[in-house]
Amino acid sequence: MSVVTLVLAIIAFTLLGLATDAHHRRRFGHTPAQARRKRLRTGGWIALFASTVPAILARGWIFGPILWAAAIMASAGIAFLALNLVPAKADPRPVRPSV
């Protein structure tokens, strides 16, 4: 269950990161439309809230929130490093800056 908490939190922070213009442009070559940005943020928040359930099931009401807090801190760091340091796939078209 601890791994499920961590995976859900990593998914959450990755979705929240991809909702930003810079990360989305780096990965997909364009900024997200408003509807897509809203879906990414909603999915991120849902995954973040869903990650509390396996943490509490794994460690109970006393240590579950502590596990959850540790998982979201670790996953925020993992998502940050992945979005910033893992190279995006090469696109033959040059990325044009948006105006």
- Domain ranges in the chain are 2-85
With contact defined as beta carbons under 8 Å apart, do 68 and 4 qualify? no
Query: Which pLDDT value is given to residue 26?
Result: 84
pLDDT at 25 over 90: no
State the average pLDDT over residues 2-6. 91
Which is nearest to 26 in space by CA: 92, 78, 90, 80?
A: 90
Helices (H) and strands (E) in the chain, counts: 4, 0
* Span 35-55, pLDDT tens digits: 999 999 999 999 999 999 999
- Give the pTM: 0.82
Residue range 57-88, pLDDT digits in tens:
999 999 999 999 999 999 999 999 988 888 77
Structure tokens given for 46: 């849902």
Tokens 């990650």 belong to 51
Helix (H, G, I), strand (E, B) or coil at 25: helix
